[in-house]
């Protein structure tokens, strides 16, 4: 399917490095903001959920930063690989999960009634 905003393939590939660099910078900034928001709301999710989401965000951040030096050589490839049809969809899903966590009620660990009663009896 031809792209309407570029007259030729040469024009499309000419600024691919600029578009790839911009994609990397904006996505890393979004990931950094999501990590910060997740850390501010860590009391709203369980410790394993927090660790899993944070680790996935950090992994994607490292992946994007690791590709930053390939921008000049593979700009059009990176736009596809890191763009909306590639890894960006996974990043968007993780950021949506951080949004859900930030709106969740405060996490309270479940304590079985037997242990709750034992704690009261000891006091």
Q: What is the pTM of this model?
A: 0.77
Q: Is residue 1 part of a domain?
A: no
CA atoms within 13 A on the CB side of 41: 21
Instruction: Give the structural domain span for 99.
Output: 9-104
Does 49 reside within a domain?
A: yes
Which two structure tokens, joined as six digits, stand for 78?
A: 């990176």
**Residue 23: inside a domain, yes or no?**
yes
Is residue 110 in a domain?
no
CB-count burial class (<10 Å; 0-12, 13-18, 19+) for 12: middle
In a domain, 121, yes or no: no
Distance (Å, whole) CA 97 – CA 91: 10
Tens of pLDDT, residue by residue, the chain (123 residues): 455 565 566 776 778 888 888 999 999 999 999 999 999 999 888 889 999 999 999 999 999 998 888 877 778 788 888 888 888 999 999 999 999 999 988 877 776 777 766 555 555
Residues in the chain: 123
Distance of CA 45 to the CA centre of its chain: 17
Task: Tell me, yes or no, whether 119 lies in a domain.
Answer: no
| Domain total of the chain | 1
């Amino acid at each position: 399917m031809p792209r309407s905003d570029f007259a030729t393939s040469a024009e499309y590939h000419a600024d691919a490095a600029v578009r790839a660099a911009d994609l990397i910078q904006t996505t890393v900034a979004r990931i950094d903001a999501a990590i910060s928001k997740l850390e501010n709301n860590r009391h709203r999710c369980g410790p394993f959920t927090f660790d899993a989401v944070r680790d996935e965000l950090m992994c994607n951040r490292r992946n994007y930063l690791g590709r930053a030096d390939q921008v000049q050589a593979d700009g059009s490839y990176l736009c596809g690989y890191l763009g909306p049809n590639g890894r960006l969809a996974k990043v968007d899903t993780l950021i949506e999960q951080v949004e859900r966590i930030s709106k969740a009620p405060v996490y309270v660990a479940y304590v079985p009634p037997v242990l709750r009663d034992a704690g009261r009896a000891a006091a």
